[in-house]
Amino acid sequence: MSLSISLTINGQPRTIALDDPRVTLLDLLRERLDLTGTKKGCDRGQCGACTVLVDGRRINSCLSLVASLDGADVQTIEGLADGDALHPVQAAFIEADGFQCGYCTPGQIMSAVGLIKEGHASGDPERVRELMSGNICRCGAYQGITEAVLEAQKVMADKKGRNAA
């Protein structure tokens, strides 16, 4: 029995035929759609390497069944930049050296984008660290990650303010 699911992935409408309703969003992205920026870390929802945005919310894609996401809007690291222009969070990660080996970076960036969209990047480094704690960095780049989130939040707030004027 095949199940048909409609998703918007990085702004592109997609209809996906599922032969198995137990397929996770992570496996769909990586194995069927060749969107390999989203990483498979622990496959248990503990490391955050697989973080993507679904309907603007941060989720662990390794724990999300595609069958439960019919009609959802999914954004991955591949859909974050605007052509050659990096998203402010991506640019801030480079500027603040918010990565070392880079394996966790896509999940960290997607979590940071979600955190900022949620309005939780208040300028308080401790709060940012706490709210990003679901994303593990084995290299220990946490200081750079926190700096990147705070800087990107400022840039995005300034940009939003200019657009509202």
> 86 is written with which tokens?
């990096």
Report the pLDDT averaged over residues 122-136: 90
Question: pLDDT at position 159, please?
Answer: 76
Span 77-122, pLDDT tens digits: 999 999 999 999 999 999 999 988 889 999 999 999 999 998 877 7
Question: pLDDT at position 165, please?
Answer: 54
- Taken as a whole, the chain contains a residue count of 165
Span 74-84, pLDDT tens digits: 999 999 999 99
CA distances from 15 to 4, 5, 33, 66, 93 (A): 7, 6, 11, 11, 33
- Please give the Cα distance from 20 to 18 (Å, whole number): 5
The closest of 49, 38, 44, 59 to 136, measured between CA atoms, is 49
CB count in 10 Å sphere of residue 82: 8
Question: pLDDT at position 157, please?
Answer: 86
Span 140-156, pLDDT tens digits: 899 999 999 999 999 98
Span 2-28, pLDDT tens digits: 899 999 999 999 999 999 999 999 999
What residue ranges define each of the domains in the chain, with the CATH number in brackets? Answer: 3-79 (3.10.20.30), 88-164 (1.10.150.120)
Span 25-60, pLDDT tens digits: 999 999 999 999 999 999 999 999 999 999 999 999
Question: pLDDT at position 94, please?
Answer: 95
- Which amino acid belongs to residue 102? G
pLDDT band per the 50, 70, 90 thresholds, residue 164: low
- Please give the Cα distance from 114 to 135 (Å, whole number): 12
Question: pLDDT at position 51, please?
Answer: 98
Question: pLDDT at position 59, please?
Answer: 97
Pair 131, 68: CB distance under 8 Å: no
